[in-house]
Amino acid sequence: MPKYTTDDDLELLGELGMDMTPEPSGQRSAREERIIAGFEEIERFVEEYGRLPQHGEDRDIFERLYAVRLDRLRESEECRAVLEPLDSRGLLDAETDASLSTVRDLTDEALLASLGVDAASENDVTQLTHVRSRSEIKAAEEIAQRTPCQDFDEFKPIFDKVQRQLQSGERQTIKYQDYAAVKEGDLFILDGQKVMVVDMGEPFVSDYGRSDCRLRVVYDNATESDLLLRSLQRALNKDKASRRITTPDFGPLFSHIEAADDLPTGYIYVLRSQSDHPFIAENRFIIHKIGVTGGDVKSRIANAKKDPTYLLADVEIVAKFKLANMNRKRLEALLQKFFASARLDLELQDRFGIPVQPREWFFVPLEAIEEAIEKIKEGTLDQFRYDLETAKLTRS
């Protein structure tokens, strides 16, 4: 049997489920395969979190097990001989993390018992009883460590006001869209608590080439945490009941729950002109009128060719969105303000020869209008602007 540095190494490898029976030479033994498999789990942890697994009671049980395993693999000459050719990250030679605790002084049996593992079990160390799976505890990991918010007195009035606005209907909660934008000042409901993004640090590019930044997040239970933007997004995605709290500027604009006694309060409509004006004819498919009405759209445009509002020509309805329980004028003003930079600058003469300049026509493709309406429904329109050069919505 190959020699190990200490008897403890043999005991630990046995407790990790490694077969100690020698195998014929010429190929990897079952023991070596098990050593490699255990090391690969540590590598996956490092790849996912960008750091070594650490000891500590505040750490996830799997992370603590990986930390113990890495310590033992480093100390074992046999394990190092097997793993060094495969250690592309240099994990075996990495400096021990500063957060190591006195856990190393425990016996292996006491250590595994403190982690909730029966040392006498024949199962692999990752087969834990009475412990949630990694997928089940993923959301909790993402929230990071919460600490008391020392200046919560500054935020409590805000949370109280938001609650009153939710009760009055001035604010709404809408389903969080997967990996939707998060910006400073945003409010969410996560794990049943109100969450406020108080501060966003400087953006940086993670090891995976993704943009990220550190956040300060305050909770309505007077705690806070500093976590990564993508961690918050993943936690919101994981919580099926998570909600975004809309800003009061937006509404309520759309009803997201239709009741039997709901009455439609109007429509957003998008029109395309049939005018033979040279400029309009040339750009017909990217010039649109955006409006809101409480009545029937077809009735509203019946006399379009006599009305300067409709460019003195017949129009085509290219999109219509039903509304309920909302303020029509507020919505119309919001949309027209958003696309103000693309307002059509065109002067016509009415049937009496009087020059008129319609104000509700915009040099905007239909796709951009539809996207803007969707952003209003999500409560995220204030995070975007309309880019004239690309004719698309871009982040502010």
Q: What is the pLDDT of residues 279-308, one digit of tens each?
A: 888 888 899 999 888 888 888 898 888 888
Contact 196, 222 (CB under 8 A): no
Using the predicted structure, report yes or no on whether residue 389 has a pLDDT greater than 50.
yes
Give residue 356's pLDDT: 72
Cβ–Cβ < 8 Å for 293, 269 = yes
CA distance 234 to 207: 17
Residue 289 has what pLDDT?
Answer: 93
Q: Which two tokens stand for residue 206?
A: 């993670």
Q: For position 15, what pLDDT does the model report?
A: 53
Q: Domains of the chain, with CATH numbers?
A: 7-131 (no CATH), 140-245 (2.30.30.30), 264-395 (no CATH)
Cα separations (Å) of 295 from 251, 258, 259, 328?
Answer: 20, 19, 20, 11
13 against 283, higher pLDDT: 283
The tens digit of pLDDT for each residue in 140-170 reads 444 457 889 999 998 999 999 888 888 877 7
- Distance from the first to the final alpha carbon of the chain: 66
pLDDT at 171 over 60: yes
Q: Of 390 and 110, which is predicted with more confidence?
A: 390
- For residue 26, pLDDT beyond 60: no
CB 199, CB 216: distance < 8 Å: yes
pLDDT of res. 188: 92
Cα→Cα distances 204→36, 54, 207, 235, Å: 33, 24, 10, 20
The whole-number pLDDT of residue 279 equals: 87
More confident site: 110 or 335 = 335
Dump pLDDT digits (tens) for 84-102: 888 888 888 755 443 333 3
In angstroms, the CA 396 to CA 380 distance is: 11
